[in-house]
Amino acid sequence: MTGRFTDELRSEADPQWQAQLNHPFVRGIADGSLPLDKFRFWVRQDYLFLIEYCRVFAFGSARARDFETLTKFADLLNATAHGEMELHRAYAAEFGIDVAELEAETSAPATRAYTDFLVRVAATGQFEELAAALLPCMWAFSDIGAALSKRETPKDARYARWIEMYSDPDFAGLAQWCRELVDRLARDAGVATREQMRSAFLASVECELAFWDMAWLGGGGQGSVRVAARRLRTPRSGGFGPSSREAASDSAKRRGRDSWGIEN
């Protein structure tokens, strides 16, 4: 295998990646125009997602094959639980939502589909699949944060803090570490295992886009959930339903949005 495996994955997922960067929800954060009810809904759903994401980090730590990787996954769990989730709790408090209410929230279909997939892969898949499935969330949010940080800071302090968190160099460093882990695991893996890693990565990217659609539509976005579900039904087979470009094109048409044309 020549070149970085993660570069290959990113290239294959480019339509969905660009759809996230240009998503109306992300654009609304960037210019401060996002309606607060949509942001409030995202905070509640993302908090539930992050609880399960922490569980996946715990699986990663438990299943790691060396102490360095074990401790890094523990660091990721700690950074998420006490950094990223603390920001969500602060947002919720501003909206008059306490922690008990956050944790009592019901997962929307896109949230449940994504977290069920991640936990299933973490518990029953190969360690290589676990790492590949985790990567899109960190990597895409880091890319989004970096892209938005180059624009004028929104006047709404809540959106400015959001951009500050996801554009933080420390956050980018965590995403970079996960990329390096996936590349290292792929170098030592056989063809079948790399295909399973590819499938897990692409399924997670599809779930990321479905999550943005859900947040934008206030719990809707069932078309995106169905696209993601087709991928999730066969996460180890490598042959999921529609092509990446078809899926991203369909999602863009549903949103009826103009593109910023942001490239990464």
Catalytic residues, which ones? 137, 208
AA letter at 148: L
Q: List, in order, residues 6 or more apart from 203 with CB less than 8 Å away.
A: 117, 133, 228, 231, 232, 235, 240
Distance from the Cα of residue 206 to its chain's centroid = 9
Distance in angstroms (rounded) separating the CA atoms of residues 75 and 169: 16
Cα–Cα distance between 56 and 52 in angstroms, integer? 6
Residue 108 has phi, psi (to 5 degrees) of: -75, 160
Q: Quick one: how far is CA 123 from the chain centroid?
A: 19
Candidates 88, 85, 84; CA nearest to 97 is 88
